[in-house]
């Protein structure tokens, strides 16, 4: 999806449109077919919360893994920004 004009195109079904078209289309789909819209920032926040719970439960041994994952996410965010 283009973040500036909300135009999108599905690489599987080849349908396309704008965000408003996607929302309307999603409302008309049956609940079995409907997919949850993926929000990368929400997913990142959930991952960080999970790490924090693990650190609280198992101690600071988990913290280096959290730092590595955060660095990896940051790397791909920066790479995506330079590719655009």
- Distance, in Å, from the CA atom of 25 to the CA atom of 70, rounded to the nearest integer, reads 35
pTM for the full predicted model: 0.53
pLDDT at 66 over 70: yes
Closest CA to 81 of 62, 39, 28, 73: 73
- Say what the pLDDT of residue 13 is: 80
> Per-residue pLDDT tens for 35-63?
667 788 889 999 999 999 999 999 889 99
Closest of 72, 75, 73, 48 to residue 62, by C-alpha = 48
Mean pLDDT, rounded, of the chain: 85
């Amino acid at each position: 999806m283009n973040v500036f004009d909300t135009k999108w195109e599905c690489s599987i079904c080849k349908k396309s449109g704008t965000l408003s078209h996607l929302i309307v289309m999603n409302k008309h789909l049956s609940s079995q077919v409907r997919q949850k819209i993926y929000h990368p920032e929400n997913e990142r926040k959930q991952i960080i919360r999970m790490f924090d719970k693990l650190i609280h439960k198992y101690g600071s041994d988990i913290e280096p893994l959290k730092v590595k994952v955060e660095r990896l996410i940051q790397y791909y965010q920066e790479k995506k920004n330079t590719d655009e």
